[in-house]
Amino acid sequence: LIFPPVGPLAYIIVEILPELFRSRLVRDIRRTVLNMIDPHRDLRRHSEALEISDTVENTIRLADTLRDRGDLQEALELYNKAQTGLFATDPALLLGKADILYRMGSYTAAREALDLLIKENPDFKSPDGHLLYAMSLDAEGNETAAIHEYEILCKYYPGPEPKCRYGLLLKRRGETDKARELFKEVQLSAKRSGRHYHKLHRDCIELAQNELSKI
């Protein structure tokens, strides 16, 4: 309260509102405000936890924090450090590592990490992991395999991203009619959904609108 006008507002959002409204929106607002006040909070907390207890779990938490900050090389080094013993084929670890590799542009390495995940953990299910696998195939230039995965994802994935990525792939192949239908489906879903859906998938909705204006 001693830093007006930001202090009182931050105090209300961080301390009072969560007690009144324990909703996801308020939790997101609280996290955003905390990050504004102390942008290195999570990094410091997870670094200290790893110093106190050098466990795989703490290593992965710090790696995830670094990844979200864009420190991909440091995050990858921590994932490689954690990938030992019982965790050599851990599905969550392999999925996180594949995500970092994809962001770094190492698409084949990302796909290989996911291939290992699938081989060693056949019962593991992750829509985001499945999408990452399709994206890796797509980025590698393996269009036939990517199309197969996108078609499956379009049937069950809880968001429009697979349809957008599949539409872009079809457009590159000159299959504009099929691409147009996918972008129209994204628009239709957006019209039928509420504000939260629009906020959550704004980039995909805008992409679909932009593509429809060009094809």
* Mean pLDDT, range 162-169, rounded to an integer: 98
Q: How far is CA 52 from CA 46, 59, 86, 142, in A?
A: 10, 11, 21, 45
What is the model's pLDDT at position 45? 84
Residue 82: what are its φ and ψ, rounded to 5°? -75, -20
pLDDT at 1 over 60: no
Q: How far is CA 158 from CA 102, 152, 163, in A?
A: 21, 12, 11
pLDDT tens digits for 21-54? 444 444 555 555 555 655 567 788 878 887 788 7
Spatial separation of the C-alpha atoms in residues 49 and 57, rounded to whole Å: 10
Spatial separation of the C-alpha atoms in residues 161 and 8, rounded to whole Å: 39
pLDDT at 7 over 70: no
Half-sphere exposure (Cβ direction) of 63: Cα atoms closer than 13 Å = 27
What is the model's pLDDT at position 46? 77
- Counting beta carbons within 10 angstroms of the beta carbon of residue 140, is it exposed (0 to 12), middle (13 to 18) or buried (19 or more)? middle
CA 170 from centre of chain: 23
Q: How many CB atoms lie within 10 A of CB 43?
A: 16
Residue 193: what are its φ and ψ, rounded to 5°? -105, 170
pLDDT tens digits for 188-206? 999 999 999 999 999 999 9
